[in-house]
Amino acid sequence: MGEQTTEGPDHGVGGAFTDALDTRLIGAGRRHNGSALAPVIWASSTFETATVEEGRGMALSVGATEFYSRYGNPTVNDFEEAIAELEGAEAGRAFGSGMGAVAAVVLGLCSRGDHVVAQRQLYAGTQMLLQAVCPRFGIEVTFVDGTDPEAWREAVQPGRTMLLLAETPANPRLDIVDLVALGAIKGPMKVVDSTFATPLGQRPLEHGCDLVVHSATKCLGGHNDVTLGVVAGSRELIDWIWGFAVLQGAVASPHEAAGGLRGLRTLGVRLRHQSDSAAHIAESLEPDERIAEVRYPGLASHPQHELALRQMDLMGGLVTFDLAGGFEAGRHLVESTRICRLATSLGGPETLVTHPASTTHVNLLPEELEAAGIAPGTIRMSVGLEDPGDIVSDLLAALA
Ligand SMILES: *Cc1c(COP(=O)(O)O)cnc(C)c1O
């Protein structure tokens, strides 16, 4: 029998069952499913209420799920509860994209005069939000080297710094932020973009961080067919963020949330396969002299390999490497592969390659590129579900 009437996630408090994450991936987010096994799509934008009193109660409450779908929606709520359960959070809020979630966290929690500390190596959209949008609203941002715990601590302005915004593993060089050190910093709220890791790879809230953000468009959705974001944390913080989100309007569609739930059911097998393949590919590429450097947290040569082993259960499907031949070699590679497809995004079944210097980061100045850890010949690869040997052969053929 399903768990559609449970009160909420069972975290094993008081000697109850504590299911493994793989089991939770299957069981989570079924509250509004009735007897259906697949996610039920509550496509309604609005809901009938029996009395004025009931309607008013929902209009005045936070995140009512059967009132008006900008406030909340049963399918979306199932996805939110699933993510909260997997992250060990009290609550979650889904958005129409990862950027919807990042923007709601920053603009929902910060006001004019507040200060944010973020790492330099970040998803380009987050970087633009912090660099171009925040200053317009009087929110000051300091960028630090995310791999240096001391740099985070030193950048905090007591009483003024609202948020520490980390991303780990980070775009695109897969730098790792020490979550225990970050979580121990007192004062500001610690927010972690955990898109590359998923809750199977790491759980930032267990290390003292306050909010975890995902672009569920990537590994969680997992099939390149949903655009979706989510943030999870304490009920108090999520309710506060909801107060902004309901006016921001970047709500998740129930169709996308159903795709997110569908993705969660297979996340375990997908991410393990992708992690194994990525490790094989990284090891195969490392000795090749046409490649200047291979970055993968699971490689002993990764500068933070030990830290990655400590805080990550799975190293994920992202591999980044620098071609010795620079910009032209990078462009040639991504246009020459047969199996690896030239496309942005990550975490889906197809192996994708990008050349950030000519695509996602094309707007950055040379010094900004360097600060973001992007060399002219840097290739970011999202390893899919194809045979890893075929992917290696494809890359080697394209390098020739
Ligand atoms: C893709 C991505 C985002 C933004 O998510 P969208 O769903 O594209 O809005 C944020 N952070 C990271 C790390 C990402 O990869």
Please check the confidence at residue 399 and state whether its pLDDT lies above 50: yes
Please check the confidence at residue 13 and state whether its pLDDT lies above 80: no
How do residues 82-141 score in pLDDT, each as one tens digit? 999 999 999 999 999 999 999 999 999 999 999 999 999 899 899 999 999 999 999 999
Q: What is the Å distance from ligand 1's center to 50 Cα?
A: 40
Catalytic residue list: 70, 123, 193, 218
CA distance 234 to 31: 20
Please check the confidence at residue 247 and state whether its pLDDT lies above 60: yes
pLDDT of the residue at 16: 63
Q: Is the CB of 218 under 6 A from ligand 1?
A: yes
Q: Which of 191, 199, 200 has the alpha carbon at shortest distance from 241?
A: 191
How do residues 180-198 score in pLDDT, each as one tens digit? 999 999 999 999 999 999 9
- Supply the DSSP symbol for 40: P
Q: What is the Å distance from ligand 1's center to 93 Cα?
A: 16
Q: Which of 191, 217, 352 to mutate to test the pocket of ligand 1 (most atoms within 8 A of CB)?
A: 217
Q: What is the pTM of this model?
A: 0.94
- Supply the DSSP symbol for 55: H
pLDDT of the residue at 18: 80
Q: For the residues 247-271, what does the mean pLDDT come to?
A: 98
Nearest CA to ligand 1 atom 2: 215
Q: What is the DSSP pairing of strand 189-193 with strand 211-215?
A: parallel
pLDDT of the residue at 6: 43
Mean pLDDT across the chain = 94
For the CA of 99, the closest atom of ligand 1 is 9
* Whether the Cβ atoms of residue 366 and residue 239 lie closer than 8 Å to each other: no
* Whether the Cβ atoms of residue 215 and residue 233 lie closer than 8 Å to each other: no
Residue 336 CB partners (closer than 8 Å, separation 6+):
397, 398
pLDDT of the residue at 268: 97
* Whether the Cβ atoms of residue 190 and residue 211 lie closer than 8 Å to each other: yes
Please check the confidence at residue 226 and state whether its pLDDT lies above 80: yes
For the CA of 122, the closest atom of ligand 1 is 13
* Whether the Cβ atoms of residue 376 and residue 315 lie closer than 8 Å to each other: no
Q: Which helix (H) or strand (E) holds 199?
A: helix 198-201
Distances (CA, A) of 78 to 138, 258, 261, 268, 384: 36, 9, 8, 19, 27
Phi-psi region of 335 (alpha: psi -120 to 50; beta: other; left: phi over 0): alpha
CA distance 243 to 67: 16
Q: Is the CB of 195 under 6 A from ligand 1?
A: yes
How do residues 22-32 score in pLDDT, each as one tens digit? 999 999 999 99
Tokens 């950055």 label which residue? 364
pLDDT band of residue 15 (cuts 50, 70, 90) is low
How do residues 280-317 score in pLDDT, each as one tens digit? 999 999 999 999 999 999 999 999 999 999 999 999 99
- Supply the DSSP symbol for 130: I
Q: What is the DSSP pairing of strand 115-119 with strand 140-144?
A: parallel
For the CA of 346, the closest atom of ligand 1 is 15
What is the four-CA torsion angle of 192, 197, 199, 205, rounded to 10 degrees? -30
Q: How many CA atoms lie within 13 A of 368 on its CB side?
A: 13
Q: Which of 235, 231, 181 has the alpha carbon at shortest distance from 211?
A: 231
Q: Which of 10-19, 186-195, 254-263, 273-282 has the lowest mean pLDDT?
A: 10-19
Please check the confidence at residue 333 and state whether its pLDDT lies above 90: yes
Dig out the tokens for 178 from the structure. 């020490």
